[in-house]
Homo-oligomer: A and B are copies of this chain.
Amino acid sequence: MAPQQTRQWILSNPPHEKPVYEGEDATFKIQTIDLPEVGKEQVLIKNKYFSNDPAQRGWIQADTDPERLYTKPVLKGEPMRTYAVSEVVQSNSDKLKVGQLISGQTTWAEYDVVDAAGCNPIQVNEQAGIRATNFIGALGGTGLTAYYGLVDVAGFKAGETVVVSGAAGATGNVVVQIAKHVVGAKRVIGIAGGAKKCAWVESLGADVCVDYKAADFKEQLLKATEGYVDVYFDNVGGEILDLMLTRVKRFGRIAACGGVSAYNGEGQGIKNWLEIVKNRITVKGFIVVDAIMAGRAGEIIGKLVAGVREGKIKIGEDSETVVPTKFEDVPKTWNLLFEGANQGKLITELTE
């Protein structure tokens, strides 16, 4: 019997700064709703894994000008949107059978009714080491972001040097691997938080990974970037970006992918902007949607899959932090993103 109702999380108080997880002012609230009819070319899905992405913080910001956001914002009272891996439990589409796993956009809900056209059927391949969660990670939007940003946006080429911040994060670890093993970097420098994460980034192919929590972080980074670098792939913004503006070569490039340090209203602002002028740096902002609009998604995902098959890109269980989560705790697991808690992609696994 298909369920008639579902619990879902709605945005109850769009935050100006840090989201709140308790009490009357809580950013998100849980509610139970009747599921709509499953219409023509629609399916009823049961959500199994949620993708947790820093960009979601931007979707819920209070007082956002919708014209300045790259996607529809989530408005007060609306269900929180997410990417997910889900299972089809009822289908009104010939293209999707019951039991099929799909990746696509849904909401923070146990069940959802969605258009079949927006569902990507996925095939788990245990022998090849390809798990369901990879399709919202290295073989999904995250891997697409990494490749498109490094190669298409920053124009990174074999023989060049690159610094990747958030190098132990979802996008960063894939950038490191693509740079070193697919493109053929001369030198890859990671930046991550803590010795354990740094060791992992180096195991993936970084020539060195600098710990931003170390007391002598700045000295270590200056040493690691001696002679300056061609490209900086920025996942974090803030102070690390400000420092990196002084470490990019003349006529170097910055791919501006994110700014997790600034999403919750923190940070002191960028002081070294004049480096852009003096050293004629090109900065390009981008988001994953650009790769799709440019028609690059199919080819890039193909390259990522080939990279995995050839052993150049590792997407093992250590490249994901899968957090088993009761539905009541979905927002709290998402918040781990902003605490630097995850190694690789942070994924919510819904438990019963």
In the complex, identify which listed stretch (A127-135, A195-203, A272-280, A334-342) lies at the interface while the others stay far away.
A272-280
Q: Is the CB of B241 within 8 A of A275?
A: no
Neighbouring B residues of A285 by C-beta, 8 Å:
275-282
Given contacts A70-B278, A287-B278, whether A237 and B269 have CB atoms under 8 Å apart is no
Integer count of this chain's copies in the complex = 2
Asked whether any CB of chain B lies closer than 8 Å to the CB of A258, the reply is: yes
Pick the contact of A280: B258, B267, B278, B284 (CB < 8 A).
Answer: B284
Q: Is the CB of A68 within 8 A of B259?
A: no
Pick the contact of A277: B242, B259, B276, B277 (CB < 8 A).
Answer: B259
How long is the Cα–Cα vector from A274 to B269 in the complex, in angstroms?
11
Asked whether any CB of chain B lies closer than 8 Å to the CB of A262, the reply is: yes
Neighbouring B residues of A277 by C-beta, 8 Å:
256-259, 285-287
How long is the Cα–Cα vector from A276 to B286 in the complex, in angstroms?
8
Asked whether any CB of chain B lies closer than 8 Å to the CB of A332, the reply is: no
Neighbouring B residues of A290 by C-beta, 8 Å:
280
Q: Is the CB of A241 within 8 A of B68?
A: no
Asked whether any CB of chain B lies closer than 8 Å to the CB of A95, the reply is: no
Asked whether any CB of chain B lies closer than 8 Å to the CB of A283, the reply is: yes
Q: Is the CB of A274 within 8 A of B287?
A: no
Asked whether any CB of chain B lies closer than 8 Å to the CB of A246, the reply is: yes
Scoring A residues 25 to 46 as 1 if CB is less than 8 Å from chain B, else 0, what string do you get?
A: 0000000000000000000000
Q: Is the CB of B273 within 8 A of A259?
A: yes
Neighbouring B residues of A257 by C-beta, 8 Å:
277
Asked whether any CB of chain B lies closer than 8 Å to the CB of A223, the reply is: no
How long is the Cα–Cα vector from A256 to B274 in the complex, in angstroms?
8
Q: Is the CB of B268 within 8 A of A237?
A: no
The distance from the CB of A117 to the nearest CB of chain B, in whole angstroms, is 25
Q: Is the CB of A69 within 8 A of B282?
A: no
Give 21 A-B contacts (CB < 8 Å), ordered by A residue: A68-B278, A70-B250, A241-B273, A242-B269, A256-B273, A256-B276, A259-B274, A269-B270, A270-B270, A275-B285, A276-B283, A276-B285, A277-B286, A277-B287, A279-B285, A280-B285, A280-B290, A281-B283, A282-B284, A282-B285, A283-B283
Which residues of chain A have a CB within 8 Å of any CB of chain B? 58, 67-70, 228, 237, 241-242, 246, 250, 256-259, 262-263, 267-271, 273-287, 290
By Cβ-Cβ distance, the 4 closest A-B pairs, closest first, are A269-B269, A276-B285, A270-B270, A277-B285
